[in-house]
């Protein structure tokens, strides 16, 4: 008989007897009582289990994770750069979880070092105070800004920037050349004291005037990419680049020049390179040279009385057209240190050429009407075998 059961009804528990109406009412009362007690116990159990979880959570290893570890996790979870408002909102939402997460987010200065300001949408443009507050949390970490227009509004806040990328998205950067403030900026330039790499991406030729506003005394690498369409560089590219170097007084640090997806005449490119005798790295990717008088850039450089690019260590000619002629390049390389072959070995004139790496690649082409033989030329073989130059000449590939 169950503990606390009604004694007069106990015989029903050990038999198959049918309870009479009075006994049935008593049994139902017992059922209702037990059901009520079970419900109460379940409610108490649920409350006890909830309290148990809360107390266990207090001792959870996750709660003991240091803020520094959370900060590193945030770095992996969040975008490397905050390109728009949605990305910024992700960081702000993390701070709302708890005080520990907020402190962790503020602790990692790198999380606050990237910012995109889209000047095309003035209605959503944040107040300057908010911009300063955001980047103020980056501490001493170099800040990384990317923007479209009116960079004169933002560059003064980039004192810690080391790698500056300006993405134009094929938009024209415009300014009032007659404005007094603009003329003042043109005369003095925006000082970017820590910039070592300056990259202009998807830029139209007129927008290269931005170089006239900049002053980069620590500049090492200048990268100009006009975009896949091959922008016609009808601007004064040599003058813009040379004035940037002179204004910045960075001849001692400037070493690398990259030009990509551009079209310009050979004289224009040759003049640009002539004014950069301190270059050690030169990259030309998908650069179309419009040849005046059937001469290209390397022919023009070869004709200079003084050797051009005397300190060049790395030369990269990437995505060349399959019609590219090897002779101007080979003759230019040979002119840097002439030689004659004697008994199967080269006899050199002049000091060693500092060139250490040569890379040449070609665009794919549809029809196989021409092959390249640059890597089999005697000059290339001499550079590889006797001068220690690392040479890679990519084959011309064919597509259907």
Per-residue confidence of the chain (400 residues) as pLDDT tens digits? 455 556 677 777 778 888 888 888 888 888 899 899 999 999 999 999 999 988 888 888 878 888 889 888 888 888 765 555 677 788 888 888 888 888 888 888 778 777 666 655 556 666 767 777 777 777 776 665 554 445 656 777 778 889 988 887 766 666 656 556 666 666 677 889 999 999 998 888 888 888 988 999 999 999 999 876 566 776 688 999 999 999 999 999 999 999 999 888 888 999 999 999 999 999 999 988 877 665 688 888 888 877 889 999 999 999 887 777 788 888 888 888 888 888 878 878 878 889 999 999 888 765 555 566 676 677 878 787 777 788 888 776 655 5
Q: String of b and e for 228-253 (b: at least 16 CB within 10 Å)?
A: eeebebebbbbebbbebbebbebeeb
Residue 56 has what pLDDT?
85
What angle is formed at CA 110 by the lines to CA 105 and CA 114, rounded to 5 degrees? 105
Can you give the pLDDT at residue 249? 94
Question: What are phi and psi for residue 248, nearest 5 degrees?
Answer: -85, -15
Cα–Cα distance measured from residue 105 to residue 112, given in angstroms and rounded to the nearest whole number: 9
Strand 197-201 relative to strand 390-393, pairing: unpaired
Tell whether the torsion through CA atoms of 51, 54, 56 and 59 is positive or negative. negative
Structure tokens at 337: 């240190």
Write phi, then psi, for 25 (nearest 5 degrees).
Answer: -65, -40
3-state helix, strand, coil in the chain (%, to 5): 45, 20, 40
For 7, which DSSP code?
Answer: G
Structure tokens at 223: 């990268």
Cα 146 to Cα 209: distance, rounded to the nearest angstrom = 17
Q: Are the beta carbons of 287 and 264 closer than 8 angstroms?
A: yes
Residue 352 near residue 312 (C-beta atoms within 8 A): no
Domain residue ranges of the chain, discontinuous segments joined by +: 27-63, 65-130, 131-393
What pLDDT is stored for residue 231 in this prediction?
65
Closest CA to 217 of 191, 182, 197: 191
Global pTM value: 0.64
Per the CB < 8 A criterion, the answer to whether 285 and 318 are in contact is yes
**Architecture of 131-393 per CATH?**
Alpha-Beta Horseshoe (3.80)
């Amino acid at each position: 008989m169950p503990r606390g059961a009604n004694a007069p009804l106990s015989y029903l528990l050990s038999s198959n007897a049918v309870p009479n109406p009075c006994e049935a009412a008593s049994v139902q009362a017992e059922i209702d009582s037990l059901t009520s007690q079970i419900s109460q116990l379940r409610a108490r159990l649920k409350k006890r289990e909830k309290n148990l979880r809360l107390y266990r959570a207090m001792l959870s290893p996750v709660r003991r994770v240091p803020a520094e570890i959370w900060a590193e996790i945030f770095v992996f979870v969040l975008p490397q750069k905050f390109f728009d408002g949605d990305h910024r909102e992700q960081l702000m939402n993390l701070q709302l979880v708890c005080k520990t997460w907020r402190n962790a987010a503020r602790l990692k200065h790198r999380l606050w070092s990237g910012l995109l300001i889209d000047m095309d949408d003035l209605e959503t443009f944040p107040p300057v105070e908010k911009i300063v507050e955001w980047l103020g949390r980056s501490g001493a970490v170099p800040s990384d800004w990317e923007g479209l227009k009116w960079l004169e509004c933002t560059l003064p806040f980039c004192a810690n920037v080391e790698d500056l990328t300006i993405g134009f998205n094929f938009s024209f950067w415009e300014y009032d050349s007659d404005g007094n403030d603009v003329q003042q900026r043109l005369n003095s330039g925006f000082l970017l004291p820590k910039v070592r790499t300056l990259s202009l991406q998807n830029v139209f030729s007129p927008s290269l005037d931005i170089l006239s506003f900049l002053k980069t005394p620590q500049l090492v690498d200048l990268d100009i990419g006009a975009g896949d369409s091959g922008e016609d560089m009808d601007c004064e590219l040599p003058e813009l680049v040379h004035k940037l170097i002179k204004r910045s007084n960075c001849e001692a640090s400037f070493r690398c020049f990259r030009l990509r997806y551009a079209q310009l005449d050979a004289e224009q490119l040759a003049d640009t390179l002539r004014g950069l005798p301190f270059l050690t790295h030169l990259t030309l990717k998908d650069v179309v040279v419009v040849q005046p008088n059937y001469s290209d850039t390397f022919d023009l450089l070869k004709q200079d009385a003084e050797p051009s690019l005397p300190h060049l260590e790395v030369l990269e000619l990437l995505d060349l057209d399959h019609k590219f002629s090897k002779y101007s390049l080979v003759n230019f390389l040979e002119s840097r240190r002439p030689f004659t072959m004697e008994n199967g070995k080269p006899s050199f004139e002049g000091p060693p050429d500092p060139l250490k790496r040569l890379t040449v690649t070609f665009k794919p082409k549809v029809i196989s009407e021409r092959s390249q033989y640059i890597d089999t030329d005697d000059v290339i073989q001499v550079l590889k075998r006797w001068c220690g130059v690392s040479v890679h000449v990519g084959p011309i590939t064919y597509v259907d």
